[in-house]
Amino acid sequence: MGNAYVEIPIRRERTALRRSAMSRPLRLAIGDGLIDQSTTVFDYGCGHGDDLRHLRHQGIECSGWDPVFAAENPKIAADVINLGYVVNVIENSEERAGALAQAWNLTQRVLIVAGRLSLEAEIPSTGNCFADGYLTNRGTFQKLFEQSELRDWIESVLGERPLAAAPGIFYVFKDAAAREAYSVSRFKTSYERPALSRSTALFELHKEQFEALSDFIQRYGRIPLRHELEAASFLEIEFGSMRRAVRILRRAQTPNNWDEARKKRSQDILVYLALSRFPKRCKFTDMPESTRLDIRAFFGTYSRACEQADDLLFSAGRRETIENACSSSKIGKLTQEALYLHETALSELPPVLRVYEGCARVLVGRVEGGNIIKLHRGRPTVSYLSYPAFENVGHPTLSGSLLVDLQKLRVSYRDYANSENRPILHRKEQFVSISYPLYAKFSKLTRQEERKKLFENPGLIGYERYWQDLIEANGLKIAGHRLMRSVSKAPPSAGHN
């Protein structure tokens, strides 16, 4: 009975797409530093080979196999194996698991697994149900996963914990240290090199080495060991000890923000450790050496660091704590419903809110285009809002929203691209930090609009149709981030509302 469905011909060859650009899983892996010109890639289920062509164009050594279009090619081991949108087109569950296991056996460093999610398409009526998926009108099979379902299935087949790279895309690492290095890299705070307050002869004489030391301290919040920084060995020999070299650097960079760097790096470690508890925290020896050194420098022991991380994680599950953290946050736009902020400001949130948002990212990975993050105050939910024209348009429109329900572990998507009256943003400077390159430009537009009293109906101006009518009714227009008098319409008479 269970094998009766094999009598229905499944047109798997029709699932292979022609691609004019590289597929999303491989594009993400390149962006995450998992693929470069020193990496070998094997595309398991390469279809027409378009991804291989794009990889070769970037100088990346690659090959592929496909049961229909490249069946004569051998299946070979590689640093990175891409199993991109293969598992969702195999109708036999045992064969599906076998393909995943075989791809894993070929993997030397990291396996990329991508599958279509139920939020990407509507499941047809029950008449098209087939096995654990459905048949399309083209005679192909599709298995649509929930995000957590795909993650759990990968882990059940491989016995390894996958990490969410993006909705529908997971990385599975062969080496635990490589997995943790990738994990900790997702929660690093950016830094800026302090300016020199005064120059010293010793600093100028060895400026390159001192700047390398400064960058290390800003990045890690601590002094490097000799083997961690090439310049450290030189400075120790030149000045007798690292402490003396640090004193010279400290005098040249007065005042410096080393205490702030130490605070930020220790918070990064706590956020990483708090979120690494899903589903199980790794062994201390599986962590990258630099992370182990950070933990010893900031917390003394791994167990002490884990205790503090657990306290942070549990506090992120308390609504009162989240409410207080949102209300007191120095970054972001606060409304009655949520705290909104730009993706570049995430590292400036209080640690408990970073963990709150991080819980969503553990489930879905990085949401491409989700440049505005909405931290809901009344329920355990995080939304990723896409405003493609955020930097270029004074009041960008919402194109889509991905909602992550942390209580139900469900992901849903809403498309606004074709809506007639899309939500828009105002006061964009509130979403970003003061160091954001366009902060001054955003602020200037807001001040112009305030002087024209355009914000008097906050419940209505958040939608493009009303806002456009309001702008035109006041004889104005917006070009980029400039509010100007419209030459096509006379200004309103006195008393116009």
pTM, 2 dp: 0.85
> Tokens standing for 256?
């410096």
Contacts of 100 (CB under 8 A, 6+ apart): 83, 87, 113, 154, 157, 158
When pLDDT is cut at 50, 70 and 90, the band that residue 495 belongs to is very low
How many beta carbons lie within 10 A of that of residue 11, not counting itself? 14
Residue extents of the structural domains in the chain: 4-174, 184-188+261-315, 201-256, 319-415, 436-485
Give the residue from 316, 351, 314, 309 showing the smallest Cα distance to 331.
Answer: 351
Condensed to tens digits (0 to 9), the pLDDT of residues 350-404 reads 999 999 999 999 999 999 999 999 999 989 999 999 999 999 999 999 999 999 9
The mean pLDDT of 232-259, rounded to a whole number, is 85
> Tokens standing for 174?
């062969």
How large is the angle between the packed helices 50-57 and 24-31, nearest 10 degrees?
30
CB 221 within 8 A of CB 264: yes
CB 113 within 8 A of CB 162: yes
Condensed to tens digits (0 to 9), the pLDDT of residues 389-416 reads 999 999 999 999 999 999 999 999 999 9
> Length of the chain in residues, anyone?
497
Amino acid at 25: P
Give the residue from 113, 41, 52 showing the smallest Cα distance to 80.
Answer: 41
473 pLDDT exceeds 50? yes
Distance, in Å, from the CA atom of 73 to the CA atom of 62, rounded to the nearest integer, reads: 12
* CATH 3.90.950.10 at 4-174, yes or no: no
Condensed to tens digits (0 to 9), the pLDDT of residues 188-242 reads 776 666 766 655 777 888 889 999 999 999 999 999 998 899 998 889 888 888 8
Distance, in Å, from the CA atom of 29 to the CA atom of 58, rounded to the nearest integer, reads: 14
6 pLDDT exceeds 80? no
Distance, in Å, from the CA atom of 176 to the CA atom of 178, rounded to the nearest integer, reads: 5
3 pLDDT exceeds 70? no
How large is the angle between the packed helices 351-364 and 258-275, nearest 10 degrees?
40
Backbone φ and ψ of 44, nearest 5°: -85, 105
pLDDT for position 18: 77
4 pLDDT exceeds 80? no
DSSP annotation of 283 reads P
Q: Which residues pair with 451 in a beta bridge?
A: none
How many beta carbons lie within 10 A of that of residue 122, not counting itself? 8
CA 33 vs CA 80, 183, 425: distances in Å: 12, 12, 33
pLDDT for position 193: 67
